[in-house]
């Protein structure tokens, strides 16, 4: 990951177009256009999101809840377009942390960084819990328990940490493999299940409008069951901004990163909607039983296309979810490294070290892994750990997205886009307005209903912990906290 500079440090085809930041290169710039897209797509991981949250949606809104998916997709694309303008303007690791630091103040940037860290720390736990509960345990025919899920999650976290520290190219190759396998498997499975429903009667298309076990009273009311099902898309269609967090490792990031984020959302949204339609139809008359099933998607696949296909698909699902967690931890390690090289966290000198250009920041990666393991210990004996983790993993990015869009609005008038910046032209204002409307709606969904009290408690707890950590930084590293890195590129 080469730091982005304008002084010709790194490859000339990328750095000449990037703004000066004063950072020396510590990583190799290895990510191509496809690999940047793959990072965003893998973090989103429709396989992870749909296998993990589909059962929760059946329990909160019934099968008809899948129709919030296109609404969330549209809102997410609008937010990503705003992010694209910021990512092109400041293509540096640390994304929202760096944007807020440079466009507003380092103190505000620190808080953006902390909220991002808290989001990434818990969402990787949610993803790896999902791996054990809805894919790995069913694949190995192991009965899921709270203790077993916690142990499995810790093992997966340690394996992901080891890979990231050892080799960025190896991590990238694993992710590329997972993305290819996920796209092929999801499209193929969608076709197979659709064929089973259409030609062999293994399903019921009326499910697409069914409320399942949910009462019809107030179903479409304000924050009724239908709106609560937005969890399905809101949990899944996040993390696309990880492409921006790896901007310093990407060739031509000012152009590649914005396109990668939007394309990842559009492809995920399209494939995801088709899969949701056929999997819902494939549920047949067993909706009530599937609502109580710990892995309903796996059960539907087995009942429609057979156990052999279901087993093969679970293997792909395990790979895809593992890669999703891997990319999340990579993103968090880069965030911590970005804050550490600015001297704005305790033990910054250690956390900013990168022993090898082709490896990850060792101690930053270790720190984020240990933070996630600590979260696992909190949920270790909780049978309802996954739904609570899903809620927290959905609310935190919504808060972060809203703050970042507000940052863009507040600072937009102070900036004249460069010729090579990602721009929306006459569509900029409508896109920003649409993004704001969607984010207000999303925050209402996940902050007003009592269903997400656990998520809100996590958010409040992270702010308290963040306040304590900020106090430590304020009294021990105030000069670094209040000082921006030089805008002059260093000679390399």
List domains and CATH numbers for the chain.
31-415+422-477 (1.20.1740.10)
Instruction: Flag whether pLDDT at 490 surpasses 50.
Output: no
**How confident is residue 11, by pLDDT bands cut at 50, 70 and 90?**
very low
Cβ neighbours of residue 464 closer than 8 Å, sequence gap 6 or more: none
Q: What is the DSSP letter of 250?
A: B
Instruction: Categorize the per-residue pLDDT at 229 as very low, low, confident or very high, splitting at 50, 70 and 90.
Output: very high
Instruction: Give the rounded percent of residues in the chain with a pLDDT score beyond 90.
Output: 56
Q: So what's the pLDDT on residue 473?
A: 95
Please give, one letter per residue, the 3-state secondary structure of the chain.
CCCCCCCCCCCHHHHCCCCCCCCCCCCCCCECHHHHHHHHHHHHCHHHHHHHHHHHHHHHCCHHHHHHHHHHHHHHHHHHHHHHHHHHHCCCCCHHHHHHHHHCCHHHHHHHHHHHHHHHHHHHHHHHHHHHHHHHHHHHCCCCCHHHHHHHHHHHHHHHHHHHHHCHHHHHHHHHHHHHHHHHHHHHHHHHHHHHHHHHCCCCHHHHHCCCCCCCCCCCCCCCHHHHCCHHHHHHCCCCCHHHHCHHHECCHHHHHHHHHHHHHHHHHHHHHHHHHHHHHCCCCCHHHHHCCCCHHHHHHHHHHCHHHHHHHHHHHHHHHHHHHHHHHHHHHHHHHHHHHCCCCCCHHHHCCCCCCCCCCHHHHHHHHHHHHHHHHHHCCCCCHHHHHHHHHHHHHHHHHHHHHHHHHHHHHHCCCCCCCCCCHHHHHHHHHHHHHHHHHHHHHHHCCHHHHHHHHHHHHHHHHHHHHHHHHHHHCHHHHHCCCCCCCCCC
Tell me the mean pLDDT in the region 424-453.
93
Calculate the average pLDDT of the chain.
Answer: 87
**Residues 380-394, mean pLDDT to the nearest whole number:** 80
pLDDT digit string (tens) for 172-197?
888 888 888 889 989 999 999 999 99
- Rounded mean pLDDT of 262-275? 96
Residues 317-338, mean pLDDT to the nearest whole number = 90
pTM score = 0.85
Looking at the predicted structure, is the pLDDT value of residue 2 above 80? no
Out of 24-38, 234-248, 282-296, 395-409, the most confident range is 395-409
The pLDDT confidence band at residue 5, using thresholds 50, 70 and 90, is: very low
- pLDDT value for 10: 36
Give pLDDT, residue 240. 94
Model confidence at 161, pLDDT cuts 50, 70, 90, reads very high
In terms of Cα–Cα distance, which of 112, 88, 119 is closest to 98? 112
- Residue 138's pLDDT is 85
Q: Which two tokens stand for residue 329?
A: 């931890």
Q: How many CA atoms lie within 13 Å of 65's alpha carbon, on the beta-carbon side?
A: 33
Is the pLDDT at 12 greater than 60? The verdict is no
Q: Given this model, what pLDDT does residue 492 score? A: 24
**Rounded Cα–Cα distance for residues 120 and 329 (Å):** 7
Q: What's residue 430's pLDDT?
A: 97
**Choice between 256 and 6, residue whose per-residue pLDDT is larger:** 256
- Going by pLDDT thresholds of 50, 70 and 90, the confidence category of residue 29 is confident
Q: What pLDDT digit, counting tens, does each position of 342-369 carry?
A: 999 999 999 998 887 777 789 999 999 9
Q: What's phi and psi for 417, nearest 5 deg?
A: -60, 140
Residue pLDDT, tens place only, 396-411 = 999 999 999 999 999 9
């Amino acid at each position: 990951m080469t730091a982005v500079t304008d002084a010709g440090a790194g490859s000339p085809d990328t750095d000449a177009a990037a703004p000066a930041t004063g950072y020396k290169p510590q990583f190799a710039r290895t990510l191509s256009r496809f690999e940047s897209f793959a990072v965003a797509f893998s973090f989103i991981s429709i396989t992870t999101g749909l296998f993990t949250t589909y059962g929760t949606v059946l329990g909160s809104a019934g099968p008809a809840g899948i129709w919030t998916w296109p609404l969330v997709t549209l809102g997410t694309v609008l937010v990503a377009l705003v992010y694209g303008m910021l990512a092109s303007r400041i293509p540096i690791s640390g994304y929202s942390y760096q944007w807020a630091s440079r466009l507003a103040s380092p103190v505000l940037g620190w808080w953006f960084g902390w909220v991002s860290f808290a989001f990434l720390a818990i969402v990787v736990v949610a993803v790896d819990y999902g791996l054990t509960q809805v894919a790995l345990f069913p694949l190995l025919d192991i009965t899921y328990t709270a203790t077993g899920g916690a142990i499995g999650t810790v093992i997966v976290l340690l394996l992901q940490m080891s890979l990231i520290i050892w080799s960025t190219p190896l991590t990238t190759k694993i992710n590329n493999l997972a993305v290819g396998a996920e796209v092929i498997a999801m499209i193929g499975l969608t076709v197979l299940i659709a064929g089973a429903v259409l030609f062999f009667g293994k399903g019921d298309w009326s499910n697409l409008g069914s409320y399942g076990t949910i009462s019809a009273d107030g179903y479409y009311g304000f924050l009724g069951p239908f709106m609560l099902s937005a969890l399905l898309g809101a949990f899944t269609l996040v993390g696309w901004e990880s492409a921006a967090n790896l901007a310093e490792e990407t060739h031509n990031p000012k152009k590649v990163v914005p396109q990668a984020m939007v394309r990842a959302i559009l492809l995920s949204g399209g494939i995801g909607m088709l899969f949701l339609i056929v999997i819902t139809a494939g549920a047949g008359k067993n909706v009530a039983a599937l609502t109580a099933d710990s892995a309903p998607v796996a059960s539907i696949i087995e009942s429609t296309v057979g156990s052999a296909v279901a087993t093969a698909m679970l293997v792909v699902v395990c790979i895809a979810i593992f890669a999703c967690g891997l990319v999340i931890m990579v993103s968090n390690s880069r965030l911590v490294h970005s804050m550490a090289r600015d001297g704005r966290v305790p033990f910054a000198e250690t956390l900013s070290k990168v022993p090898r250009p082709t490896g990850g920041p060792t101690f930053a990666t270790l720190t984020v892994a240990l933070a996630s393991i600590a979260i696992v210990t909190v949920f270790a004996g909780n049978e309802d750990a996954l739904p609570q983790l899903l809620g927290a993993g959905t609310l935190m990015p919504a808060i972060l997205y809203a703050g970042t869009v507000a940052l863009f609005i507040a600072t937009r008038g102070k900036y004249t886009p460069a010729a090579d910046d990602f721009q929306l032209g006459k569509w900029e204002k409508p896109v920003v307005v649409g993004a704001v409307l969607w984010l207000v709606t999303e925050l209402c969904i996940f902050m007003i209903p009592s269903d997400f009290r656990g998520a809100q408690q996590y958010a409040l707890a992270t702010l308290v912990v963040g306040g304590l950590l900020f106090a430590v930084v304020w009294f021990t590293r105030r000069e670094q906290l209040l000082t921006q890195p030089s805008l002059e590129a260093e000679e390399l």
